[in-house]
Amino acid sequence: MNAAIPLPLAEPQSVAQRKKREADKLAKRLRHQVGKAIADFGMIEDGDKVMVCLSGGKDSYAMLDVLLQLQKKAPVNFSITAVNLDQKQPDFPEHVLPEYLRSIGVDFHIIEQDTYSVVSRVIPEGKTMCSLCSRLRRGALYTYAEDHGYTKIALGHHRDDLVNTFFLNLFFHAKLSGMPPKLLSDDGKHVVIRPLAYVREADIEAYAEAKQFPIIPCNLCGSQENLQRAQVKKMLAQWEKDTPGRVETMSRALGDIRPSQLSDPNLFDFLSLGKRGDAALPDAHAWLASGETHATDTDDAA
Ligand code: SF4
pTM of the full predicted structure? 0.88
State residue 34's pLDDT score. 98
Contacts of residue 199, Cβ cutoff 8 Å, sequence gap at least 6 = 30, 33, 34, 62, 158, 159
pLDDT in tens, 173-225: 999 999 999 999 988 999 999 999 999 999 999 999 999 999 998 888 888 78
**274 occurs within a structural domain:** no
**193 occurs within a structural domain:** yes
| 53 assigned binding-site residue | no
Distance CA 221, CA 269 (A): 49
**What is the domain range of residue 204?**
18-253
| 218 assigned binding-site residue | no
Other C-beta atoms lying within 10 Å of the C-beta of residue 196 = 30
**71 occurs within a structural domain:** yes
Q: Which residues line ligand 1 (CB under 6 A)?
A: 89, 129-130, 133-134, 218-219, 221, 223
State residue 226's pLDDT score. 83
Distance CA 192, CA 267 (A): 24
Nearest CA to ligand 1 atom 7: 130
**137 occurs within a structural domain:** yes
Which among 158, 141, 302, 293 has a CA at the least distance from the CA of 236?
158
State residue 3's pLDDT score. 53
CB 54 within 8 A of CB 141: no
Distance CA 279, CA 189 (A): 43
State residue 290's pLDDT score. 84
Nearest CA to ligand 1 atom 4: 218
State residue 11's pLDDT score. 52
**2 occurs within a structural domain:** no
**138 occurs within a structural domain:** yes
Distance CA 245, CA 113 (A): 41
State residue 4's pLDDT score. 60
| 133 assigned binding-site residue | yes
State residue 221's pLDDT score. 82
**7 occurs within a structural domain:** no
Give the CATH number of the domain where residue 224 resides. Answer: 3.40.50.620
State residue 301's pLDDT score. 45
**168 occurs within a structural domain:** yes
Nearest CA to ligand 1 atom 5: 130
| Low-confidence residues of the chain: pLDDT under 70 | 1-13, 293-302
Instruction: Report how many domains make up the chain.
Output: 1
State residue 32's pLDDT score. 98
pLDDT in tens, 280-294: 898 889 999 987 765
129 Cα–ligand 1 center, Å: 6
Nearest CA to ligand 1 atom 1: 219
